[in-house]
Amino acid sequence: MALRYRRILLKLSGEALMGEGSYGIDRVTLDGMAAQVARTAALGVQIGIVIGGGNIFRGVSAGAAGMDRAQADYMGMLATVINALALQDALRRSGVDCRVQSALTIEQVAEPYIRGKALRYLEEGKVVIFAAGTGNPFFTTDTAAALRGAEMAADIVLKATKVDGVYSADPKKDPHANRYRTLTFDEAIGRNLGVMDATAFALCREQKLPVCVFSIFKPGALERVVRGEDEGTLVTVS
């Protein structure tokens, strides 16, 4: 089947890297995600990735209680760099040429974020991991995904979660909850479905950048999404 999306921005949560653990990185889970990305890249899809840091930051969250918000957010950005380096290593072991660009300057371990260079890497078929969020406190990695997706002229933002889409209710609590196949941004906001944080969602709507919410743990799901198959929940302007 032909590809529907040629350039994607994949948003991975830090929590997804934990597997069944309470915090940290689960090696089996990480390698499984890298394998999905590798198979999708082999189809000819250009892939940018924004990764969260909740799995690392969660381990010190009790110590961050009461901390200055900006200081805590910078700590969270550093956690995303750790995850980005781990993912880069896993992708390279899967045979994928990969670069990490950081919104914070940490030149010993990652390149600084430069839009033109990132675009060139994507065009060359390299996977680009965008670390440290937007580089600013008070903005989530969801917002970073929307921002980088717009800057990279991505066809879609893919939000990888543990749930295979957006549901009318919590599927773990309500067995009759229905998965939405498609939604408009206005419907998602009106029903308070919490697809992404408000800033990220507003940016995607303004830029007419569709969002797909899907489960990264479902085998082959990422490949099915880029082919335009019925996978996850697609959120569009209309």
Domains of the chain, with CATH numbers?
7-236 (3.40.1160.10)
CA distance 218 to 215: 6
For 164-182, the pLDDT digits (tens) are: 999 988 888 888 889 999 9
> Which residue ranges make up the annotated binding site for ATP?
11-14, 54, 58, 161, 167, 170
For 111-134, the pLDDT digits (tens) are: 999 999 999 999 999 999 999 999
Q: Is 196 exposed, middle or buried (0-12, 13-18, 19+ CB in 10 A)?
A: buried
Q: Nearest CA to 212 among 47, 9, 16, 17?
A: 9
Q: Given pLDDT bands bounded at 50, 70 and 90, which one contains residue 59? A: low
The pTM for the full model equals 0.94
> Which residue ranges make up the annotated binding site?
11-14, 53-54, 58, 73, 134-141, 161, 167, 170
For 194-218, the pLDDT digits (tens) are: 889 889 999 999 999 999 999 999 9
Task: Using DSSP, state whether 145 is helix, strand or coil.
Answer: helix
CB atoms within 10 A of CB 145: 32
